[in-house]
Structure 1
Amino acid sequence: MEILSNQTCEACRVDAPLATAEETASWMTQLTDWQIQSVDNIKRLVKVYKFNNFVDALAFTNQVGELAESLAHHPAILTEWGQVTVSWWTHKIGGLHKNDFICAAKTDSLYPS
């Protein structure tokens, strides 16, 4: 199995297939504490990252923004005191694509351990 965080996103087309149940189950094994949530019947990968203060949360938000811009794939990010919630999904296809799992893994690599 290829490591998600080492992969690159591919340009996504409107007719790109959604991740299958088998693919999703396989890729989820590489992600820690990510949840699949449905919002308006669209599946998203969601994770809450904890911080000691707002400054650290904001710095992480900016790193995720830079990552998203470099990959041309953009999440929803909610920054609050002490936490950042990141949600990845592919807008063009209305659900989860391999790119979302790659981005989630890359987001984890930004989080200070």
Structure 2
Amino acid sequence: MSDDFQQKCEACRAGAPQVSDEELPGLIRAIPDWTPVVVDGVLQLRRVYQFKNFAQAWAMCDRVAALAEEVGHHPALLLEWGKLTVSWWTHKIGGLHKMDFELAAKTDSLFTPS
């Protein structure tokens, strides 16, 4: 894990730097299954994970929740039958921090396809 994870959510401090327009394309390339979306004027990273049933989606939701608690940085999670939508962004800075990209990649590592 990077030093960012060891710092317990450096991104959550007021004044933490947002990802710049110049950094964004390179960071997005590293997590190709994630989509940048703007929600209420805030840039977020979003991915929908598909599963065979509700229980598998719920298990993934639990793994993501445990990761979020570990680092003190929490995504939006939408749990549905056979589907989990995860959205990472940094509330405190109203946008994306590099840690959001690291957490998206870490979330991918938790995924076990059905």
Q: Same fold (TM over 0.5)?
A: yes
Mapped pair 1:111 → 2:114:
no
* Structure 2: distance between partners of 1:40 and 1:22: 22
Aligned length: 108
Q: Distance in 1 between matches of 2:28 and 2:36?
A: 9
Q: Letter of the aligned partner of 2:84 in structure 1?
A: V
Which structure has the highest helix share of the two? 2
What corresponds to 2:22 in structure 1?
Answer: 22
Cα deviation for residue 27 of structure 1 reads 1.1
Cα RMSD, aligned residues only: 1.1
Tell me the TM-score normalized by structure 1.
0.90
CA distance in 2, matches of 1:32, 1:69: 25
TM-score (norm 2): 0.90
* Structure 1 residue identity aligned to 2:40: D
Cα offset, 1:33, TM superposition: 1.4
**Separation in 2 of the partners of 1:32 and 1:41?**
22
Deviation at 1:46, TM superposition (A): 0.2
Q: Which runs of 4+ in 1 moved over 3 A?
A: none
Distance in 1, matches of 2:69 and 2:22, equals 29
User: What letter corresponds to residue 90 of structure 2 in structure 1?
Assistant: T
Residue by residue over 1:48-106, the C-alpha shift from the partner in whole angstroms, topping out at 9 and shown as x without a partner, is 00000000000000000000000110000000001000000000000000010010000
SS of the residue 1:56 aligns to: helix
Q: Percent of aligned pairs with the same residue?
A: 48
Residue matched to 1:99: 99
Matches within 5 A, 1:22-41: 22-41=22-41
**Aligned residue identity for 2:107:** T
